[in-house]
Amino acid sequence: MSSHPSSRPAVAPRGLVFGLEDRLGRIEVAFWLLPVAVFFVFPGYLVLASQVLIAGLFALSLDLILGYAGIVSLGHAAFFGVGAYVAGLLSVRGYGEPLSGLVAAAVVAGCVGFVSSFLIVGGHALTRLMVTLAVGLSLHEAANQASSVTGGTDGLSGMETSDLFGVFAFDLLGKTAYLYVLGVCLVAFCLVRRLVHSPFGLSLRGVRENERRMHAIGAPVRRRLVEVYTLAAALAGAAGALSAQTTEFVGLEALSFDRSASALVMLVLGGAGHMYGAFVGSCAFMVLQSFLADLHPAYWQFWIGCAVMLIAFFARGGILGYASAARERLARGSRGSRGAAARPGP
């Protein structure tokens, strides 16, 4: 692969700077060194940092279906919530082993995703949007009504997560929890990265760009969508399980529309279809949130609303989209052949 360095384009096409080259680039390694550095530099913020990573993983699962398959979902929290409740219920019933709980949550959420995917792939765009919304809302309502199992609005408490590998106890500072979350995120990320670079990922992008043409060339569009939806649901379930295990609490909020919407916002803030956008977005979102919500809870909602409106209007591609465009412009400027002004802004 590296034997023909000259055959690689000097300037990556727009949107391909982050994550779409098959080899793990230097920027990517540097990116994953950041959360490791956080562990040593900000030991006081590990609880928040864990939440950022969990939200990032959740947004990454949404990126699979939105950024790669092009399905807009307003109910992705359904799978996060299912995963969280599975892990939570297992733990409350006395089975608190984290890793197997994580796998169980991912499997159950994947099954729910598999079943609901058949509702999604059939309809056209508006029906899809509405069905994702309805699935999310009905699961939220189900958890609300089944309060004898889920604790209803009070939430599920009394969870106790056992030691990781039977050795490392979950401490109050969140060190074990952080490393656990980081490890799971890294593994999940590598999986997703491998996947989107495979022919499978390519056919997903084909579906996103032109579903009709994919049908015409004989690609199994429906099957691809069912597969990716199931996988994204399983990943979201894993994120939910991580959240339940590290906070030892599950509330109805895990299934709420707010969570679905904020994942969408995080992803778009960071940049959909980049994989890294999920983590960049969740970091920007949650750091801003913890800062602004301290002032007044309504301020936070107001400013995030305005930010999302601006993104929808002007900044397609989010933070990473900007970064790619800027890098491309720099590269062009240094070659001097075409001025940066030749291309209108994003």
Partner 1 sequence: MASFLGIVFDGVAYGSLLFLISIGLSVTMGLMNIVNLAHGAFAMFGGYLSVWLSARGTPFLATLPICFVVLGLAGAGSERLFYRRLRRRSQLDQVLFTIGFTFAAVASATLVWGPAEQRVQLPGALRGQLQVLGVGLGAYRLFLIALVAVLSAGLVALVEKTTFGARVRASVDDEQVSAGLGIPVERVFCLTFAFGSGLAGLGGALSIDVLGLEPTFALKYLVYFLLVVAVGGAGSLAGTAVASLVLGLFDVAGKYYVPQVGAFIIYGLMIVLLLVFPAGLHGRRA
Binding site for partner 1 (CB under 8 A): 66, 72, 74, 119, 122-127, 129-131, 133-135, 137-138, 141-142, 144-145, 257, 261, 264-265, 268, 272, 296-302, 304-309, 311-313, 316
| Rounded-to-integer distance, Cα 192 and Cα 276, Å | 11
What is the DSSP secondary structure assignment for residue 331, as one 8-state letter? H
Cβ proximity to partner 1, 168 vs 257, nearer residue: 257
Q: At how many degrees (to 10) do helices 26-41 and 276-295 cross?
A: 30
First vs last Cα of the chain: how many Å apart?
A: 32
HEC secondary structure over 23-43: CCCHHHHHHHHHHHHHHHHCH
Does residue 149 contact residue 218 with C-beta atoms inside 8 Å? no
Cβ proximity to partner 1, 203 vs 262, nearer residue: 262
Cβ proximity to partner 1, 90 vs 272, nearer residue: 272
| Rounded-to-integer distance, Cα 293 and Cα 1, Å | 48
CA atoms within 13 A on the CB side of 208: 20
Q: How far is the CB of 210 from partner 1 (least distance, A)?
A: 14
Q: How far is the CB of 258 from partner 1 (least distance, A)?
A: 8
Q: How far is the CB of 221 from partner 1 (least distance, A)?
A: 17
Cβ proximity to partner 1, 290 vs 301, nearer residue: 301
Cβ proximity to partner 1, 103 vs 261, nearer residue: 261
Q: How far is the CB of 137 from partner 1 (least distance, A)?
A: 5
Q: How far is the CB of 98 from partner 1 (least distance, A)?
A: 32
| Rounded-to-integer distance, Cα 67 and Cα 16, Å | 13
Q: How far is the CB of 153 from partner 1 (least distance, A)?
A: 12
CA atoms within 13 A on the CB side of 53: 31
Q: Is the dihedral of CA 63, 69, 72, 73 positive or negative?
A: negative
Hey, what amino acid is at 240? G
Q: How far is the CB of 309 from partner 1 (least distance, A)?
A: 4
Cβ proximity to partner 1, 64 vs 311, nearer residue: 311
| Rounded-to-integer distance, Cα 61 and Cα 234, Å | 8
Cβ proximity to partner 1, 154 vs 171, nearer residue: 154
Hey, what amino acid is at 76? H
Does residue 210 contact residue 199 with C-beta atoms inside 8 Å? no
| Rounded-to-integer distance, Cα 184 and Cα 207, Å | 29
Cβ proximity to partner 1, 12 vs 261, nearer residue: 261
Q: How far is the CB of 138 from partner 1 (least distance, A)?
A: 4
Structure tokens, 232: 């994204």
Task: Find all residues with CB under 8 Å of 149, minimum gap 6, and list them.
Answer: 89
What is the DSSP secondary structure assignment for residue 338, as one 8-state letter? S
Q: How far is the CB of 90 from partner 1 (least distance, A)?
A: 25
Cβ proximity to partner 1, 173 vs 298, nearer residue: 298
